[in-house]
Structure 1
Amino acid sequence: MDAKSKQKVVLVTGGSGLVGQAMKKVSEEENRPDEKWIFLSSKDADLRDPEETRAIIKKYNPTHVVHLAAMVGGLYKHLRVNCDFLTFNIRINDNVLDSCKEMGVEKVVSCLSTCVFPDQTTYPIDETMIHNGPPHDSNFGYSYAKRMIVVMNRAYNMQYGCQFTSVIPTNIYGPHDNFNLEDAHVLPGLIHKGYLAKQKSIPFTVCGTGTPRRQFIYSVDLAKLIMWTLREYEEIEPIILSVDKEDEVSVGEVAELVAEAFDLKDKVLYDTSKSDGQIKKTANNAKLRKYLPNFKFTSLRQGIRETAEWLETHYENARV
């Protein structure tokens, strides 16, 4: 068998987004001859449509799929359109997994979120606790749609023997993020506000009290871990991809790092009339550390600085 016939063909849905761009960067740097990477965007196919989804999978005939595509957004967008988050993401996930099964894809890695975990729970959360109660009410539509991937993976494996699994990253940030203040997640939203505060000499204001605590993972670190999952992780049950529990920080601490990255002299202001959302959702990465005890994560200070520099350089073409 020649080398080309052994080559993995890896199709990445949502390939133009934050994580997809990071995976593209890492795959180009690695330049492995045994892997061909294809990155799709929403312009290539509407994955809410089963025929378009089947056609794009058939066109590229991948051996492996990394499923990143989703309707995503920040807290305030979730509060406005929870039903859209539920129905659109269920359609996307159903179409992708069904098409992969039909086309004989060897392995699929889908990307979830820590919002799949119950709102009322003990901390730290781990992979066994996903179905122990309802998710936070602010983003229940997205959460249930993502939670169902775990159920679907198990069902496809039991009935058809499919090697479908999933990863659960904590809060992701980095270059190519969605910095739109209307629907950005907390860190890209803060970075955009920091940029505007620097450019326009206006106050740097944080929505809420700054007390919620989060674990943040740099997109390039996550890309490397998803690629490891694709190549090495054999379990069907999900795995949390997160920095260590000790690296959890408050939104206020993150805001201070953003202010530092943009060299903002004025102190951070807090608009306490705005919602904080979920106060904490500390994740346990013990399962990941069992496999990769020595993986070194990018420090939050360095990641924020690199992301801030990227936004300053690419602001005209960024998602703002």
Structure 2
Amino acid sequence: MNKDSKIYVAGHRGLVGSAIVRSLQSKGFTNIIFRTHKELDLTNQNEVRKFFEEEKPEYVFLAAAKVGGINANNIYPAEFIYENLMIQNNVIKAAHDFKIKKLLFLGSTCIYPKMAPQPIKEEYLLTGLLEETNEAYAVAKIAGLEMCKFFKRQYGDNFISCMPTNLYGPNDNFDLKNSHVLPALIRKFHEAKVNNSKVVEVWGTGTPLREFLYVDDMADACVFLMENYNGEQHINIGTGEEVSIRQLAETIKKVIGFEGDLVFNTEMPDGTPRKLTTVDKLNRLGWKHKVSLNSGIKLAYDWFLKSCR
């Protein structure tokens, strides 16, 4: 990409898309375009095709998606599979038809098999059953990865894919019902501290192991891949480091300064027992994460205090 290349970031208001915009701007890219949902409905094929025809983007970061935590995925599976399939089908097909130079599609490590060997290598995709609590989302995202692969294979389109691990940071969703575990815990501990509560409830047993990546690190990796990778195989983006949900809760508790107790609600689902990625391929390409979990939680909490109260 040149500094004046026309770059479309789909989903620029979300956690992922906004971080990609920040990363591009910090690196001196000056011709970044985006649209709000009101301006461009990505589930509408005609609107998407009109946008590509008029704007003629050269590069596309496909970060737009309907996302949510275990609870949201359980309650709204039809919306998760429909909206994500429509968004990615429309954008990828338009990118092909209007001959863009390169597209990066973002998957998620939650679409790997539930009982995949650990740590998870890229080639473990589609080797086992999915986690039931996010199956609809996973099926849609797998279709996107495969679509990029087959468009590259059949037409020679330079469509690549990456698989970020659990992300957090600015513009995250901190809603207690529909967010992921880390932002939900930040909000829970903050509200407990403000209200002088004596306990904070954590869903599940606290034993599942998870990997967390600060979203600005993820965005830096996406720009790096757009400039340095052209392979058919998707690439994991992560830290290669894991913590239990209990350890995560204890870290957030310390950062926020909550002095009460933790209570684990074992009636709520745990999800996948363990999910750690192998990031050897990305590291060999020359990229490694910079922000530690403790530092990232501090940054995320600072953003929450400024933006969400």
Q: Does TM-score exceed 0.5, indicating one fold?
A: yes
Aligned mates of 1:201, 1:241 — CA distance in 2: 38
TM-score (norm 1): 0.92
Q: Following superposition of structure 1 onto structure 2, how do residues 220-299 of structure 1 map, counting pairs within 5 Å? A: 220-244=216-240, 247-292=241-286, 295-299=288-292
Aligned to 2:214: 218
The amino acid that maps onto 2:35 is L
Matching residue of 2:16: 19
Matches within 5 A, 1:300-319: 300-316=293-309
Distance 1:164 1:177 in 2: 27
* AA matched with 2:173: N
Runs of 4+ off more than 3 Å? none
Amino acid at match of 1:106: K
- Contact 1:208–1:274 (CA under 8 A) maintained in structure 2: yes
SS in 1 for 2:261: coil
Question: C-alpha root-mean-square deviation of aligned residues, in Å?
Answer: 1.6
TM-score for both structures, normalised by structure 2: 0.95
Letter in 2 for 1:308: Y
Question: Which range is displaced more, 301-310 or 268-277?
Answer: 268-277
Aligned to 1:39: 34
- Output the CA distance in 1 between the equivalents of 2:37 and 2:193: 33
> 1:299–1:179: structure 2 CA closer, same or farther, 3 Å change rule?
same
Runs of at least 5 residues in structure 2 that lack an aligned partner in the other structure? none
Secondary structure (helix, strand or coil) at the match of 1:8 reads coil
Instruction: Report how far residue 277 of structure 1 moved.
Output: 1.2
Q: Distance in 2 between matches of 1:307 and 1:212?
A: 22
Higher alpha-carbon deviation: 124-133 or 66-75: 124-133
User: 2: distance between equivalents of 1:8 and 1:312?
Assistant: 35
Listed one character per residue, the Cα deviations across residues 37-57 of structure 1 (whole Å, up to 9, x for unaligned) are 223332221111101111222
Post-superposition CA distance 1:276-299 (Å, at most 9, x none): 111112211111111126x24201
Give, as a single letter, the amino acid of the residue that structure 2 aligns with 1:144: V
CA offset at residue 258 of structure 1?
0.9
2:190–2:258: 8 Å Cα contact kept in structure 1?
A: no
User: Alpha carbons of 1:14 and 1:36: their partners in 2 closer, same or farther (altered >3 Å)?
Assistant: same
Q: How many residues align?
A: 308
Contact 1:218 1:303 in 2 (8 A): yes
Deviation at 1:29, TM superposition (A): 2.2
Opposite residue 273 of structure 1, the aligned amino acid is E
Whether the aligned pair in 1 keeps the contact of 2:9 and 2:21 (CA below 8 Å) is no
Deviations 1:84-105 (A, max 9, x none): 2112211111101001111111
For structure 1, the 5+ residue unaligned runs are: none
Percent identity over the alignment is 31
Pairing 1:195–2:186 present:
no
Question: CA 1:299–1:190 in structure 2 vs 1: closer, same or farther (change >3 Å)?
Answer: same
Contact preservation (8 Å) 1:26, 1:224? yes
Q: Distance in 2 between matches of 1:40 and 1:249?
A: 37
Structure-to-structure mapping, 1:67-82, within 5 angstroms = 67-82=62-77
Q: Deviations over 1:233-285 (max 9, x none)?
A: 111220000102xx200111111111111111112221222111111122111
5 Å-filtered alignment, 1:74-223, equals 74-202=69-197, 203-223=199-219
AA aligned opposite 1:192: R
